[in-house]
Amino acid sequence: KQAAKKTIIKNKSAEIVPAVACTTKQMRQAILDRLHKSLATEESKANNKAWWNATCYAVNELLFEKLTDTQKSHSGHDTRAVNYLSLEFLMGRLLSNNLHNLELFNVAQDALKGLGKDLYEICEEEPDMALGNGGLGRLAACFIDSLATLGYPAIGYGIHYENGLFAQSFQDGRQIERPDTWREYGNPWEICRPESIQHVPLYGYVETVIDENGISHKVWHAGQKLKGVPWDVPIVGYGAKTVNILRLWESRADEAFDWDVFNAGGYVDAQVEKSKAETISKVLYPNDSTDEGKELRLIQQYFFCACSVKDILRRFRRAGNKWPILAEKVAIQLNDTHPTIAIPELMRILVDEERLDWNFAWSLCEKIFSYTNHTLLPEALEKWSVALFEKVLPRHLEIIYEINRRFLETVEQKWPGDNDIKAKLSIVEEGSQRMVRMANLCVVTSHKVNGVAAVHSELVKTDLFPEFDQLYPTKLINVTNGITPRRWLKACNPALAALYDETVGKDWVVNLDKLKDALPKATDTVFQKRFMEIKRDNKVELVNIIKDLTGIEVSADAIFDIQIKRLHEYKRQQLNLIHILTLYRRLLDNPDYDMVPRVFLFGAKAAPGYHMAKQIIYALNKVAEKVNSDKRIKGKLKVVFLPNYRVSLAEKMFPAADISEQISTAGLEASGTGNMKFALNGALTVGTMDGANIEMAEEIGAEHMFIFGLSVAEVKELKTAGYNPYDYYYNNPELKAVLDWLDTDFFTPGQPGALSDIKRSLLEYGDEYLCLADYESYCKAHDAIDTTYRNKALWAEKAIRNSAAMGKFNSDRSIEDYVENVWHLKKYPLA
C-alpha cells in the first residue's frame, strides 16, 4: 500500500523542472561513481548505509557548486549578513530535505529505483543531527532553511557537539539515557575548514599596560587556550538559489599553547590538557528551558561565541572594510541569552585589541546585536556567578561592570534616586552570591529584543521587562515563530503536499498563504474524502511504526491524540495523564461506555536530572501497560509512549495526528511550534489560550479548535487570590478518584506509592501549573472531541480549515519580519 502511494505521488509531480539540472541517468551514475570511487565498494556488497552515503555524496556534488557560487556572490557584493548565534540547531536528517530543496527528490527516487533501492528506506539510514533540545533548536533550523530559501546572506553559528541530545529508551517504564553518537562513522554533510581555525583564550589574569603614547589599556593573559575547528554544513534554500552555511565549532587543544609543557617534558600533562580541551564540544546540555549554571556550559558559550565573533571580523577585514561600517555589514542575532557573552567579547576585541574608543565600540555593538527571548520561566533566565566569571573570563567581567556602570547612569537620569529600580535593572544582581544577569545585558545592548508570539511578547513588556520598556520604548517587539513548510509538509507528508499542488498550485511551498485557496473546498465532499484518506494512510503508516517500536497494536480507526514535546510540568503531560485515567475509570465502571476509540500517543525526553518529569514518563508507561492489556475495555483506549522522540520520528507523527495536545498553563509556553506542525498536517488542536495557539485561533477560527482552560489573566487572578488545589480535588469526585488511584498499586503491582509523586505535586506541593484548576474544562474539551469526531464531514471540514489556515506560520514570514524590523538585509539569490 505504501509503495503504491509513493508511486502516485511521483507521477503527479513528474513534470517538475528541478532547480539543479540533473537527469535520472546522471543521478544514477553519480551515485554509482560515489559508491565505487569514494566508498570503494560495489553494488553487490553495498548495504543501505553505503547507498545512503553514496547518495549524499552525489547530492553534495550538486550542492557544493551552488555553495561556492553563493559565497562568491556574497563576497563579490560585500553583502550585509545576519549571523545567527545559537547553542542549538536541531537539524534532524538532511538527505530528504536537501533533495526536496534541490527539487531532485523524484530524480533521486527514480535513480535509486533503477538500482533496485528505495529512497525512503535509504533515508532511514541517516542518524538525526540532534544538536538541540527542543523548540528553540528546531526554530533555529527552520530559520536557516528560510533564510536560504529567501536568498538572504546568513550564517548559523553553533557548536559541533560530538554527542547530540541523548538517545532515550525505557527500562521497566523508566527513561534511560545513552549517548547519541551521530557522527561516529563520519557525516557526509559537513566540510572541515582548518583554514578558518580560531584560537580562544580562557582563565588567566588582566594586566593594565601603558602604550607608547602613554595611554593605558587592558591586556588579558590567558591561562589556557583552545582551538576552534569549524565544520560547515551547507544549507540549501528551496529552489537552490542560495546555499548558506551552518558553521559549527569543534574544540581542540591549542598545540601552540601546550608547546611549553611538551618542552618541559610534560608529555602526559599535555595529553591531559588536550582531552580537557576536547570536552568543551563533547556534549549538548540536555536541559530545555532550565539553566544548569555549570562552568563547562559557560565555557561552551564563550568558546563558540569567541570563535564566531572572530570569524565574523575576519570576513569583515578580508573585504577591506574599516570599523565605522562594521554595523552596516554585520548583524548578530542572539538566540536566547545563551550567546550573550558575544557582547563583551566584541567589546573586548574592539577596545582592547583594536584600541577603539569605548563609546564608538559600544555604539557599534548596540547596532549589531539583537536578542530573542524564548521564555518567561524564571528557572530558564540565565545568571552566572560573578566568582565564576572572574575565574574563567576575568576581562569580560570588567567589561560587563563598565557596561553596567554606564547603564546605571542612564537609569539614574530616568529615575533619579530610585535605588529599587536600579537594583532590579542592574546587570549585576547583588546578594549573598553576586550574579551576572545575562538577559539584562542583552536588553541593555540590543537595538531590538523580540518575543516569539504576540501574547509572549506582550508579557515580556508587561511582566518581564516593564521598566526596560519604559526606558527604551521601541526596543521590545514581537516576531511570531514559524515552521518551514518544506520539511513540515512537503517532505513529511508527500500525499497531502501533492493534493495541495493539485488544488492550489505548487507555489504554496514558498507562499504558504496559498493554502487558503483550498478553504472553499473544506465543505466539498470529494475533497474531504481525499484529505481524510491521506490522513488515514498516514495513520496506517504510524500504526506499523508503533508496532515495530513497541509491539503495541493500535487501530487506525481510533482517534490519534498526540502530545509530542519535551517533558516539562508546565507543558502538563500530567494533565493529559489524569484525563486518560478518567476515561479508563469511566470504561471500567461501564464497559459499554460510549466513546470513539482513542489512542493517546506521547513522545518526550525528560532532562536527566529532572525528577518529576521522569516520574511522569514512568507513570505514563505504567498506565500504558495496564490499559493496553486490559481486555475489559475492548480496545477503546490505548496509550503509547514512543521511545526516543526526535525530529525524524516527529516527521511520521505529525501527519498521522487527529488531535494535537497544546495544553500548557496559559502564559508559560512562549510560542510552541509543534502546534503549527500539527495543524498544517490537518490535526485539530485541544489547547489553552497560550503562546501561538492564540494566533492560530485567530487564523483558523476558535470554533474549529478545542480551546479550554484559564486565560493568562485568569491564571494571574487565581494565583493572586491564592490557589488551593484541594478545592478542586474535593469538589470533583472523578478527579479525586483518579488522583487517589495513583496512591494504590493498581498500575505498579506490589509497589504502592510508586506513582504518588504525581499526586503529591498536584496537591501537597501546590500544583504550580494549575492542572486541577483546568481539569474539568479539559475533560469537557475531550468530550467535545469525541462528539465532533462522530460527524465525519464536520471533522474533515475542520481538519482542512486548520491546515489551510496555517499560512501565517511559515518561517519565511517570521524571517521577513526579522529582516524588516531587525536585520534590514537584502536578497542576493543566484541567477
CA neighbor of 799 nearest in space, from 664, 653, 593, 655:
655
* 247, 156 Cβ separation under 8 angstroms: yes
* 341, 393 Cβ separation under 8 angstroms: yes
- Position closest to ligand H53 via CB: 135
- Surface-to-core class of residue 16, CB atoms within 10 Å of its CB (0-12 exposed, 13-18 middle, 19+ buried): middle
> Is 677 noted as a catalytic residue in this protein?
yes
Q: Which of 80, 530, 535, 571 is catalytic?
A: 571
Helix (H, G, I), strand (E, B) or coil at 665: coil
Residue 142 Cβ, how far from ligand H53 at the closest point, in Å?
A: 9
**Cβ proximity to ligand H53, 139 vs 581, nearer residue:** 139
Q: Which of 514, 530, 566, 798 is catalytic?
A: 566
> Is 456 noted as a catalytic residue in this protein?
no
> Alpha-carbon distance 301 to 824, whole Å?
27
Residue 439 Cβ, how far from ligand H53 at the closest point, in Å?
A: 10
* 454, 695 Cβ separation under 8 angstroms: yes
Residue 818 Cβ, how far from ligand H53 at the closest point, in Å?
A: 13
Beta bridge partners of 84: 156, 333
**Cβ proximity to ligand H53, 198 vs 340, nearer residue:** 340
> Alpha-carbon distance 564 to 600, whole Å?
11
> Alpha-carbon distance 107 to 210, whole Å?
66
Residue 121 Cβ, how far from ligand H53 at the closest point, in Å?
A: 32
> Is 12 noted as a catalytic residue in this protein?
no
Residue 525 Cβ, how far from ligand H53 at the closest point, in Å?
A: 36
Residue 404 Cβ, how far from ligand H53 at the closest point, in Å?
A: 23
* 686, 782 Cβ separation under 8 angstroms: yes
Fill in the DSSP letter of residue 431.
S
**Cβ proximity to ligand H53, 664 vs 803, nearer residue:** 664
**Cβ proximity to ligand H53, 493 vs 673, nearer residue:** 673
**Cβ proximity to ligand H53, 667 vs 691, nearer residue:** 691
Q: Which of 374, 487, 539, 813 is catalytic?
A: 374
**Cβ proximity to ligand H53, 31 vs 479, nearer residue:** 479
Residue 130 Cβ, how far from ligand H53 at the closest point, in Å?
A: 13
Contacts of 56 (CB under 8 A, 6+ apart): 94, 95, 126, 188, 189
Characterise 98 by phi-psi region: left (phi > 0), alpha (psi -120 to 50), beta (else).
alpha
* Neighbour tally for 205: CB within 10 Å: 11
Characterise 321 by phi-psi region: left (phi > 0), alpha (psi -120 to 50), beta (else).
beta
> Alpha-carbon distance 160 to 158, whole Å?
7
> Alpha-carbon distance 516 to 508, whole Å?
10
Which positions touch ligand H53 (CB under 6 A)? 133-136, 139, 288-289, 336, 374-375, 380, 452, 481, 669-673, 691
> Alpha-carbon distance 181 to 644, whole Å?
14
CA neighbor of 620 nearest in space, from 547, 697, 673, 562:
562
**Cβ proximity to ligand H53, 151 vs 691, nearer residue:** 691
> Is 566 noted as a catalytic residue in this protein?
yes
Q: Which of 514, 677, 704, 798 is catalytic?
A: 677
All cell numbers assigned to 531 = 484529505
Residue 91 Cβ, how far from ligand H53 at the closest point, in Å?
A: 15
Residue 368 Cβ, how far from ligand H53 at the closest point, in Å?
A: 22
> Alpha-carbon distance 13 to 115, whole Å?
21
Residue 682 Cβ, how far from ligand H53 at the closest point, in Å?
A: 21
Fill in the DSSP letter of residue 112.
H
Residue 698 Cβ, how far from ligand H53 at the closest point, in Å?
A: 17
Strands (DSSP E) found in 583-652: 598-603, 637-641
Contacts of 830 (CB under 8 A, 6+ apart): 66, 69, 70, 73, 240, 241, 242
3-state SS string for 211-244 = CCCCCEEEEEECCEEEEEEEEEEEEECCCCCCEE
Question: Which residue's entry shows cell 527542543?
Answer: 134
> Is 447 noted as a catalytic residue in this protein?
no
* Neighbour tally for 594: CB within 10 Å: 9
> Is 506 noted as a catalytic residue in this protein?
no
**Cβ proximity to ligand H53, 134 vs 603, nearer residue:** 134
**Cβ proximity to ligand H53, 373 vs 574, nearer residue:** 373
**Cβ proximity to ligand H53, 136 vs 498, nearer residue:** 136
**Cβ proximity to ligand H53, 50 vs 479, nearer residue:** 479
> Alpha-carbon distance 106 to 100, whole Å?
9
> Alpha-carbon distance 470 to 763, whole Å?
39
Q: Known catalytic residues?
A: 374, 565-566, 571, 673, 677
